[in-house]
Structure 1
Amino acid sequence: MRFLTLALLAALIALAVSPIRLEVDSVLVSPINTTKIVDYVKGAKQAVYVEVYVLTYRPLADALVEAARRGVDVYVVLSAKVYGGVPQQAKELASYMESNGVKVRWNGDFPNVHTKLYVIDNKTVIIGNINPTASGFSRNKGVMLVIHNATLARQLTTIILNDYRGVYPRYRYPGVLVSPINSQDGLEWILSQPGELYIAMEQIYTDSGLVPLILRHPTYYAVVARTDADINTAVDEDIVAKIIVVGDYVYVGSINIGYYSIQRNREVGLLIHNPQLAQRLKALVLQWYREAGGKPPATTQTATTPATAPATRTQPTTTAATQPTTNTAAARGGGYGLHILIWVVIIIAAVLFVLWMNRKRP
C-alpha cells in the first residue's frame, strides 16, 4: 500500500504542474481595454471575489460597493505590504468599501500578496498581470484573461477565501500555479519545452534559478522591465506582463521570474494548452519586443535571415535546434500527452499491485 500511495502522490504532483486545456473568452490588453474589468463587476449578480496587490482605481471601488449594496457577496483581499508603503488612496478606498458592505482583508502573511485575480458569480475568472490602478489601466503593458469555467472559478475562489481567512493549504489544482507552493515547478515545466520562446516579463532575475532554462532555447524573444541576467532582451519600463509562450503552451499570471515572487509571495497564474491563445500572445510579445527596439544579435545565419528574426544564440549540435523537425511537432502536443501517459501507467501499476496483494494463497 505504501507503493500505491507514493505512486498516486507522484501522479497528482505531475498533473498539478501540467497545463490544462482552457477556452479563453477574451484577452484584455493594457493600456487598451483592461478597464472592462469594471463592467464585469457591474454585471455581477451573486458574488465577486477579488485578490489584488493594490487597488487605487476609484471606478472599480465604486463598482464593488454598488454590487455589495444590491446584495452581491463581495470579498476583497489586499496586500498589507506594498513596495514603498501602501498608498494613502488605497487605504481610503479600502475603508470606503468596507463601510459600504464589502468584506475587506489586508493580508500581511506574505512579503507581498501580488495576485491579480477576480472571480465573478462562481463562473467567470479574470486573471493576469494588471494592478487596478490608474497607471495599471492607462500606461502599463500586460494582459488579463477572461475565462468562463465553473470548475476553475471554484478553485480560484477557494484560494481567495482562504487568503481572506488566513488559511493556507497546499493547493494541487491542475494547471494552477500558486506561490509559494508550485510556481517553481510550473515555470520550469514550460521553460523546458522545446521550441521558440516568447517572454514578456516585468522581472527576470538570476536568483530564480530559471535563467539557464531560457538560455537553452536557441531562439527566443524577451521583453522586460528589469533584469540582472546576461540574456538578450528588449527593455520597456512599462512592461508589467508575466507571459511565457512555447509552442501551444502559455503561462499567464502574476508570477515574475524571481526568487521572492516564486518562493515567498502569494501569486497565482495559469499554465494553459491553447493554440489560438498561444498565437495571440506570441504576436503581442513580438509587438512589444519590436516597440522596445528589440533587434536580433549578430548570428552565423546567411544574409537571407529575416530582419525580424528573434534573439538567437549559438548552441551545440546536440540541441533541439539541430534535431529533426518531428521533435518540435511532438513537443507541442507531447508534453501534455506524456503526463497523461504517466498517469495511465501509474494507475495500471497500482491496480496490478493491489490485485497481486489480494491474490489467493495456497
Structure 2
Amino acid sequence: MRSPAIFFLFLGLIALGEPVSVTPILSIPQVPRYFEWVLGAIENAEEEILIMLSDCRRYARPSRVNTLLDALAEAAGRGVQVKVLLERRDEIPPEEEAAFAYLEKNGIEVRWDDPESTLHAKLLVFDRTEVVLGSTPWTYNGLFESVQVDFAVRSPTAAQTFRRFFGFLWEGRYRVEPRLGEAKAPALIPLPEFPEGEALHLEVAARLLEEARKEIDLCLYMLRRYPWDSPVNRLTDALISAAARGVRVRVLLEGGESWMEPDFASDAREVATYLLLHGVEARFDPPGSTLHAKFLVVDGEDLLVSSANWAYYSLIKNVEAGVALLGTPALGSILADFFEALWAQARPLP
C-alpha cells in the first residue's frame, strides 16, 4: 500500500532574488545537444546524480546511447552516488532490461517504478544544484533522431524541490499533493507531477493561455480533445478562446509516422481540424523525423517546458516533470526562434 505524504509547493525563484541560471537545450535530428550537455554534466558530477526516466536503453550493437550509461558507471566508480528510477512496462524491451542490468552490475542503485503508475518524466538532478528536464528519453531515436526541448536549471532551491520529488517516488510514496501559490514575474515554478495529484501542468498551462494577450506558440508530441467532459478540454478551449479575442495562436504537432499506431495519426488530425475550424493555426511536423518536444511560449516571455503531453493520462495519471518561467523575454526569444524554424518546415493539414 502506498504511504501518504503531503508536499506543499510554491516557488517563485527569480522573484525571491535567488540567482538562477536557465539554459535551453534544443536538439534536432543529428544535432544532439541534450546528449552532449548531459554527458558533460555526468562527467563533471562530484557528489550525487539522481535520474528518473520513462525510457532508458542499452544496445547490444555499438551505440552512442551506451556512452551515457558508461559515464554513469564511471561516476559511480569515482565515488559519486548515482540513483536511477525507470518506468516499469508490462512488457519490458530487452534493451531496457539490459540497461537495468548494466547499471546494477556497475554498483548503481537502480529501481523500477511502481507498476500501478506510469513514469513519463525525464528528470536529472546533479550535485543538489542543477536540474535537467524536458522531453528527451535515453533511446537512440529520442537522443539522435527527434526534435526535443529540455532546460538545464541551475538553482539549489529548484534542485531541492526535484530531489524531494525523486525521493518520494524512490520510496514508492505517490500520494503527494504539491500546491501552487501565486507567483509574480519574473519567476520560476517547478512542476513535479504526481499521479492523480493537483494537475499542476494543467493548471499552469491553462492560466498562461487564459492570460495571453498577443501570441501563443505551442509545440507538442500529442494534443487531445475528448467528447466527454474531461478537464483536459480546458486547454483546447483556452486556445480557441484566445484566438477568438485576437491572440495569434499556432499549434505544431507530431502528425504520426508510419511506425506509429494508426489511431495516433487520426487523433492528431482530428484535434488539428477542430482547432482550425475554431480559428487556431495548426500544422504537423514534416515526415521523416519525430517531433517529441513539449513547450509553450506565451507573449514571448512566459514559458512551459515539460515531459507532459496534453492528454488525459499525461496530465492526470502520469508522473511528469516540467518547469514554468514567467516574465523571461530573453529565454522566450530563444524558444520563439526555435518554434519559428520548426513552423517554417511544418506542413498544413492535407
TM-score, scaled relative to structure 2:
0.75
1:233 aligns with 282
Distance 1:151 1:172, change over 3 A: same
Deviations 1:154-175 (A, max 9, x none): 1101111211110132223662
The alpha-carbon deviation at position 25 of structure 1 amounts to: 3.8
Opposite residue 43 of structure 2, the aligned amino acid is: K
Which of 161, 164, 178 is the aligned partner of 2:167?
A: 161
Distance 1:156 1:240, change over 3 A: same
Q: Which whole-Å CA distance do the structure 2 matches of 1:136 and 1:110 have between them?
A: 25
Matched-pair contact (CA < 8 Å) for 2:13–2:20: no
Matched-pair contact (CA < 8 Å) for 1:255–1:262: yes
Q: Which whole-Å CA distance do the structure 2 matches of 1:28 and 1:264 have between them?
A: 27
Of Structure 1 and Structure 2, the greater helix share is in 1
Count of residue pairs the alignment pairs up: 280
TM-score, scaled relative to structure 1:
0.72
1:223 aligns with 252
Matching of residues 153-232 of structure 1 within 5 Å: 153-168=159-174, 169-172=176-179, 175-179=189-193, 180=195, 181=197, 182-194=200-212, 195-207=214-226, 208-209=232-233, 210-218=235-243, 219-226=248-255, 227=268, 228-229=270-271, 230-231=274-275, 232=281
Deviations 1:122-153 (A, max 9, x none): 10111111111111111110111111101100
Q: Which whole-Å CA distance do the structure 2 matches of 1:171 and 1:150 have between them?
A: 19
Q: Which whole-Å CA distance do the structure 2 matches of 1:125 and 1:72 have between them?
A: 16
Q: Which whole-Å CA distance do the structure 1 matches of 2:14 and 2:252 have between them?
A: 26
Opposite residue 100 of structure 1, the aligned amino acid is: N
The alpha-carbon deviation at position 294 of structure 1 amounts to: 5.0
The alpha-carbon deviation at position 244 of structure 1 amounts to: 0.6
Q: Does 1:76 align with 2:79?
A: no
Identity rate of aligned residues, in percent? 22
SS at match of 2:291: coil
Question: Relative to structure 2, which stretch is displaced further, 160-169 or 119-128?
Answer: 160-169
2:135 aligns with 129
Opposite residue 308 of structure 2, the aligned amino acid is: I
RMSD: 2.1
The alpha-carbon deviation at position 276 of structure 1 amounts to: 0.9
Matched-pair contact (CA < 8 Å) for 2:252–2:283: yes
Which of 144, 148, 158 is the aligned partner of 2:150?
A: 144
Matching of residues 310-349 of structure 1 within 5 Å: none
1:264 aligns with 317
The alpha-carbon deviation at position 283 of structure 1 amounts to: 1.1
Opposite residue 240 of structure 2, the aligned amino acid is: L
SS at match of 1:206: coil
The alpha-carbon deviation at position 23 of structure 1 amounts to: 4.1
Q: Does 1:86 align with 2:92?
A: yes
Distance 1:101 1:24, change over 3 A: same
SS at match of 1:271: strand
SS at match of 1:34: helix
The alpha-carbon deviation at position 86 of structure 1 amounts to: 2.7
1:314 aligns with none
Distance 1:110 1:280, change over 3 A: farther
Q: Does 1:97 align with 2:149?
A: no
Q: Which whole-Å CA distance do the structure 1 matches of 2:55 and 2:312 have between them?
A: 21
Question: Relative to structure 2, which stretch is displaced further, 194-203 or 23-32?
Answer: 23-32
1:53 aligns with 54
Distance 1:25 1:177, change over 3 A: closer
Matched-pair contact (CA < 8 Å) for 2:134–2:149: yes
Distance 1:159 1:176, change over 3 A: same
Q: Which whole-Å CA distance do the structure 1 matches of 2:160 and 2:219 have between them?
A: 28
The alpha-carbon deviation at position 196 of structure 1 amounts to: 0.4
Unaligned runs of 5+ in 2: 1-7, 58-64, 182-188, 227-231, 256-267, 276-280
Q: Which whole-Å CA distance do the structure 2 matches of 1:224 and 1:65 have between them?
A: 37
Q: Which whole-Å CA distance do the structure 1 matches of 2:47 and 2:334 have between them?
A: 32
